[in-house]
Each structure stands twice: as structure tokens, then as C-alpha cells.
Structure 1
């Protein structure tokens, strides 16, 4: 077991500091938050990277913090703090308050840590703090450097989703790595930020299927929802061989579609008929470049309904085809409902997206192994997850370790990160192993 608290804690000697941009942003600069930004304010992106000792040999915490100053000069929004306008709408004041840096030590070797295969333990490697009620003082981004007993190092990233999606987070830490390894950063980052405060002609009659209205505490509460079920995280690695077999069985469906179909079908059997998820949400992105400012404007939200046959009984190929072809785009509706004010009876203006329904997140194209450290070392393993997931759970599909890493014996493969109710997760793990050979 890994101790998580007290004198015998595996991760200890945690020290905090701040890093600010290398150059002054300027007076009175603000970043208006879009409707999509505000829809995602109760969610947080979490990234974790593991490196062997050669990647960090000779590096001190000051060596790791130094390129962050220059990096934040490009990403000035990330050093800002949440404020509220007179009408109560949050925005970011770009006041160069900085991001928080945590440095820590671990009593385990890197191999020992990875051998635990317990995703919940990685929270010790990702320092985080939820926004509100003191959002005026809380950083939007946290980066934790943890040294293992063997000399290896992990980099944990906690990122408020309100400032950008998972692709934005990955690009940011990759940029830090480029500066660390001596590459010259661009003079500026490209902007892809349509008009933030879109206006819509009329209110929606009902909330879109993909989101759920939630009620925070009367004082505004922390920007994190309380779950009614005990949630747990777990990850699987689908090898290239397993992936080829699944795509063939699903009549050459694409990897994300067939993985989503397998888990949807398996969870439908697990949940029981009364709770069978017949409508699910898909989240994807149109990110196509590294050097862009953080944004949620490329997030695409769709729903899929299994109207003809219950998912538990559906053929795998038919379910994968449904995911590929029957997506109902709700992106515009989600932005529109966020634009509307609460009703006269005090209806909440706060929503969740991840876990409002069973949510599948396509992160296949994320360049998570693009982060390099000294000597251009790649991570031996990297992964992303999301916190603030609702009770219906979320499934993230990420690229597996590429060739050249210790885990990437073959090109391809996928990592599946699950955040599900604990009672469903245990049975799902059994079904994926016994029916599909995924362990």
C-alpha cells in the first residue's frame, strides 16, 4: 500500500512557490470568458507525465521553473485570476499573479509507483485547488514536479477547464518543454477565439440532453460538484493487436468509435435495464495546431441515442456505426443555454457536461508524448483525466505510448481512462476482461 498522509506518506516534503510571466502583461488587460468557457467552469483537466532519471539528471527546481517564466509571457491569461463583472459574469483579469509550482519527493522508485497501477494515487502527484469562493486569489494552473527515489521525475498538471480544453493544456506544457530544451519559442500564439459573448435571439424551451443543471452553495460555493455516487478512476491499455481485432469485429470502425461501442455495450449490461444508458454524450475537438492560445472554442459536443435497439443487445458493428453516423451536434445549444440567465424562480445557471450523461471524450490526436526534457527524453508514460465528473461517468480515449518509449512496443494502441461509479467500474473491469480480453 501507498500511504497518502502523515509521516509515512509516499509523497512528502511538498513545497509551493509561484512563477509569473517574464514580461509585464500591461494595465487593465482582461480576458472575457465565452459561453463555452463558463459551461466548463466546474471541470478540471489533469495531466501526468513520468520520466526516467536521465531526463532530469542535473536539473534543479530552478532549472525547471526558469523556462516557465518565458512560457507564461506567451500565455498571459494563465497567470490571471477570476473576477466578476457588475452583472455577475466571470472574466479573467490578466494581472500577472502567476501559476503555482509544487515540488515534492517520493519514497518509491518510478517502477514501484507504476507497478501499483492505481490511478487514484496519481492525485498525490498533481497538486490542485478548486476555484471559488476565493477565486480572486486561486491560480488557474498548477504544475507539480515530483522526484522519485531512483532519480526519475513526474510532472503533474492541474488546469482549470474554464481557460481551455485538454488540447490547450497539452500544448502549454509541450511549449514549456520546448523552451527547457533550448528551442526558441514563437513571438506570439495564434488566436482562435470567436466572439466570446454570443447573443441568441430567444431562450431554449429545455436544457440540451448533454448537460445537467446543478445547484452550488448559496455563496457561490467551490466550483466543483458533490457526487451522489462514489466515483473511482481506472485506466486500461488497449494494445495494437487488441485494437486491430476489435476494429475487424466492428467491420473496420475507427478506434474511438469501436472502443466507445465496447464500453457502452458493456456498461449497459452492467448497469441493469433500469439504468441502461440509451443516450450518451461525445466530446471532441477541432484542434489542428500547436501554437494556439488556450481556448474552449474548438470543443464539439454531440449526443447519440440508441433508439432502435438497447445498447446491451446491439451488435458491436451497429453500435459503432451509430456512434459514427448519428451524432446530434449540441454545441450551439449548449452555448445558448449558458447565455440565458436563471429563471425568475431562482433556477441555477450552473451546469456540468462531463458525466451529466455517460460521456465519451475523443483525445486520440493529443500530442501528449510531445513533451520532451533534457536530452530530448520522452515520457515513459503520460495520461490525462478530468475531475468534476458527474454521476453518469466519463470515458477518455487517448493515444497509447508510441514506438521509442518503454511501453510502446508497437505503434498504435490506446489508453482508456475511466471515471465511473465504483460499483459499475468493478463489474465493467470483469466484463472487459472476460468478454473482450482487455485488462
Structure 2
């Protein structure tokens, strides 16, 4: 629920349903990977400097949303348990909740002064009740700022969708509103994720997932805070040039993952085994062969662990760690991805029920790459434009129920080329030191929604 002192005031709630009724009895079973993400929620916020509609009228938006929901029947449905006890979506066209809110400041002041607890008020979320038959797993919040800016907050259970799916849902809505063809139509058939093979239990992916499934949740739950760093194209390009000799093929993700990882290692207490670990999350739609269509709706995320000893971290030489991150990311192959999927499938209990979910974002430090969102030189996030000349001024992506060592999310920035936004969630006592870290400040990031 929203903070009572928040500058965000929700004043109404509507429901959008599909313009074309769904046939009776249609259901959509969630995959083993979907079930594994059940402890988390997903929240995206798209900020626009100007209200793309002039004088705001929600009716045209509802019309275009209803049209696009006819392509996304699972989004307008409700979660239910199937015969085996697994989650599935009952496609009953119950609709998507749309909240409308006013924000008591301009969008510029908000981005300068709001913290993440306030940003969460742009995507007000209600946890799933024991009986979700009337509960909307997708919510859209339209927030109007003073002076004409607007932010669209989209939230859902992570079981239902990953960041790519939610981004393309929003982009499809905009394309429908502009009466344009849907560039990446949704695909709900999860057959590519059902290999039904016996997993290779000696593989590093299966060992990693098995260890995560058995990991204990920290007994003391620390307060987590979030800060957003925006890095310019020139700063990233300069830093990539500096590490070119050690890693000529480095991507902005390799660079920023290595930078934040090495700086955070210095902030945290030394490990008893002198090991430094980073869990890396990659979208695998275009990673596997043959590739899965970008419009696949659900979860297509692969988690893997990169572990170095303190000597390998070599704190004085960033380029060395950049090269190791790059080697790890580029070394993830189709077979490793399917081994992880097969292992999740193999954990079903007697009767076919999926195993209980476990924490994917934590407890170890986790870094999420959104590099796949760049196609050619265009970011899918910044191409969500209601008007051809009005791209978002900022896009935020948050994951619910993050605990442990923290989370680093590297997003394409709304600027061109190599610019990136890094959203970091950490235990509260570590954030001030990270925000003041000289190695990070050397890249002159712009601080937006702040954790300080």
C-alpha cells in the first residue's frame, strides 16, 4: 500500500477487459521456470516528460488496452491451481486493474528528490491473497505529475512474466494506441521450455540451482535500499577504451557488472573461504539455438554463478575482472540453459506438482543484464513512444522480495548508444559508501531515484 505521507495520491481504479471475449475453458499452465520465480514480483516504470495525450483522457487508453488484451488473454486472466496443484492462468477475461494517481511535484523534481520507497508508490501493489480467483496478477498505474509529465507503472507476479515480457506488453499497448502493427506479438506456447530430458546432474547449472533451492533464507532480514546511477555514453566509452587491452570485446554490461562487483566486495566483510561470488542473470530468448521469439511471454531467464578468489579479483585492475565477467557471460551456451530448465522440470513431486519456489534474486549478490533489450542500435525500452519524437526520459525496473547481499540491474539508458542505467539494491548500511565510491564517481553518474 502507498505511504500515507507520499506525494503520490491514487484517486481511482478501473478495469480493462479484452475487446474480444475469450473462448470458454481456456487455461495457460505456467512452466517450471515460472514456478521457480514465485517468490518475486516485477515492477517497471516508464517516465514521460510530457503527457502524450495533452489533456488527459483515460478512455482512449482503455480502448487501445482492450484491443491489445485480445492478444494477451493470459494477462487479463486469473491464477488458479490445476489438477496437479500447479499454477495456471484461467483465461476468463476478468481484466487488468488500472489505477490513476496524481503526483504532487513536477517530473524533474521527482527524479531529483524521490527515493525508491516513493517510486514504489507509482506501482502500488497488493500481495496475492490465499484465494487469487478475483485478484488481478497484472496492475497498471497511470501517474500524472504537476506540469504535464506522466509515469506508467506496470506490476505483476514474476511467475507470470519477466522484464522482457512486461516491456513488450507495454510497447504493444502503445503500438495499438498509435494504430500500428504489433512489432513483437506475444507467444504463449511454452513447448520450447519443456524438454523432458534427464538433466546432466554434473553440470555447473544444475549444481548451482540445487544449491539455491537448499539455501536458507537469512534469519535476520536487513532493510534494503535502492539507488539509481545513470552513466553517459561518453563515460562508458572512455572506460571501455581503458580496459580494451585486457578485454577488447567487453560490453557495457561486462564493464558495469565488474565495476560494481569489485567495489561492493570492498564494502562487505571478507568471506571465510576468500571466495567472491556473483550470480549473473541473462535472458535466454536470443541466447539459445534455435532462438526463442522475443515475444515469448513468461520467464526466459538463466541464472549462473561466477566465483573468483580474492587474488583473481585483483582490486587494482578492473580490466582483469571485466575480462572474466565477459568470458563467463559469453560462455553460457544452449546446453547449459536447457540443463537448468530440465533440472527444474525434474524436481516435480509425486503427482506432477512442481517443487516449492526458491529465492532467485539472492541471497548471493546478483547482477541482471538487460543487454538483450538492444536490437541494432535501438533499445526496446526507449522505443516505447506514444509519439515518434517523445521517448521515455527514464525507465526503472525493480524486483520484489530481494534479500541477502544485494541486486545490480544494468539497463540500456534512454540516451543513445552505450549509455546505461544501473539500479542497485543493497543492505541500508552499505549504500552511502557505494554512492560515494571514487571509482564509480569517476564516471560522473547522474543520481536519480536515490537510496540515501
Give the TM-score normalised by the residue count of structure 2: 0.83
Residue of structure 2 equivalent to 1:35? 32
2: CA distance, partners of 1:11 / 1:418: 23
Aligned residues of 1:81 and 1:139 also touching (Cα < 8 A)? yes
CA deviation after TM superposition for structure 1 residue 170, in Å: 0.5
Q: 1:402 to 1:100 in 2, by over 3 A?
A: same
Residue of structure 2 equivalent to 1:354? 361
Q: 1:314 to 1:53 in 2, by over 3 A?
A: closer
Residue of structure 2 equivalent to 1:363? 370
2: CA distance, partners of 1:135 / 1:381: 32
For structure 2, the residue ranges without an aligned partner over 5 or more in a row are 287-291, 374-379, 446-452
Aligned residues of 1:75 and 1:293 also touching (Cα < 8 A)? no
CA deviation after TM superposition for structure 1 residue 166, in Å: 0.6
Q: 1:292 to 1:387 in 2, by over 3 A?
A: same
2: CA distance, partners of 1:16 / 1:116: 27
1: CA distance, partners of 2:230 / 2:47: 16
CA deviation after TM superposition for structure 1 residue 116, in Å: 0.8
Aligned residues of 1:22 and 1:70 also touching (Cα < 8 A)? yes
Residue of structure 2 equivalent to 1:381? 394
Residue of structure 1 equivalent to 2:23? 26
Aligned residues of 1:363 and 1:399 also touching (Cα < 8 A)? yes
Find 1:137's aligned residue among 126, 134, 139. 134
Q: Per-residue CA shift, 1:25-82, capped at 9, x if unaligned?
A: 1111111111111111222221111223352303311122111100100011111111
- Aligned-partner SS, 2:151: strand
2: CA distance, partners of 1:305 / 1:193: 32
For structure 1, the residue ranges without an aligned partner over 5 or more in a row are 217-223, 404-410
Q: 1:338 to 1:356 in 2, by over 3 A?
A: farther
1:399 lines up with 2:412 in the alignment: yes
Q: 1:227 to 1:152 in 2, by over 3 A?
A: farther
Q: How many pairs were matched up?
A: 417
Runs (4+) of structure 1 moved beyond 6 Å? 224-227
1:426 lines up with 2:419 in the alignment: no
1: CA distance, partners of 2:395 / 2:51: 17
1:209 lines up with 2:216 in the alignment: no
Report 1:193-204 matches (<5 A). 193-195=190-192, 197-201=194-198
Residue of structure 1 equivalent to 2:224? 231
Find 1:281's aligned residue among 273, 279, 282. 279
Aligned residues of 2:168 and 2:184 also touching (Cα < 8 A)? no
User: Which deviates more from structure 2 when the two are superposed, residues 425-434 or residues 258-267?
Assistant: 425-434
Higher RCO structure (Cα 8 Å, ≥6 apart): 2
* C-alpha RMSD over aligned residues: 3.2
